[in-house]
Amino acid sequence: MMKLRRRHPVSSKEIKSIRDSLRGTLSESQLEILLASPIDSAEFGDLEVILSGGEAVAFLPEDKFFPTLKGYLKMKIDRRYLKVDSGAVPFVVNGADIMSPGVVDVDEDLRTGDLCVVTEERHNKPLSISRMLVDSSEVDRSRKGKVAKNLHHVGDALWNLNRE
């Protein structure tokens, strides 16, 4: 089981840098919700994670921070989303990539390579954080194939952090 390593409080200068990194993804009100103090940083496997109140609310999958699923649970999801039908839910929460026929709605601003939050259509709850494999304009239910790669999903190690 992976554990947090090198956990430390985040300085105000680091918090500003984290905010700047998240600013393109979240609104100012969402940033306030997500980065309520105290803020810590830690390593979890090969990821840097940001903890707010002891819960992992953001992670650094590559060069920019992005909210975790627990982070998205704290706020209304209104941008950078890919919404799937209820038939896709069991597959997505088990780590499957997102397939075109399961998508019912997508943020039209998403481009290839962007990170997005995958939600379910009925309650708009977050299921996974995924990387877009196509532009949103290319997502069409009638076509086959993957549209997003699943990076972090309900039930994975990052989701279960702090449950031991």
**pLDDT tens for each residue of 76-106:** 999 999 999 999 999 999 999 999 999 999 9
Query: How far apart, in whole angstroms, are the C-alpha atoms of residue 103 and residue 139?
Result: 8
Q: In the structure encoding, which two tokens stand for residue 104, read together?
A: 């019912």
Whole-angstrom Cα distance, residue 110 to residue 108? 6
User: Does 3.40.50.360 match the CATH number of domain 81-153?
Assistant: no
E strands, the chain, are 4-9, 39-44, 47-52, 55-60, 66-67, 81-84, 98-99, 103-106, 115-120, 126-132, 146-153
Q: Measured between alpha carbons, how far is 115 from 162 in angstroms, rounded to an integer?
A: 24
Tell how far CA 125 is from the center of its chain.
12
Distance CA 114, CA 101 (A): 20
pLDDT for res 134 = 95
Cβ-Cβ contacts under 8 Å for 61 (sequence gap 6 or more): 47, 115, 129, 131, 151, 152
State which fold the 4-73 domain adopts: Nuclear Transport Factor 2; Chain: A, (3.10.450)
**Domains of the chain: which residue ranges?**
4-73, 81-153
Averages of pLDDT over each 10 residues, the chain, 164 residues? 87 93 92 90 94 93 93 94 96 96 95 97 96 92 89 95 66
In the prediction, which pLDDT does 163 show? 57
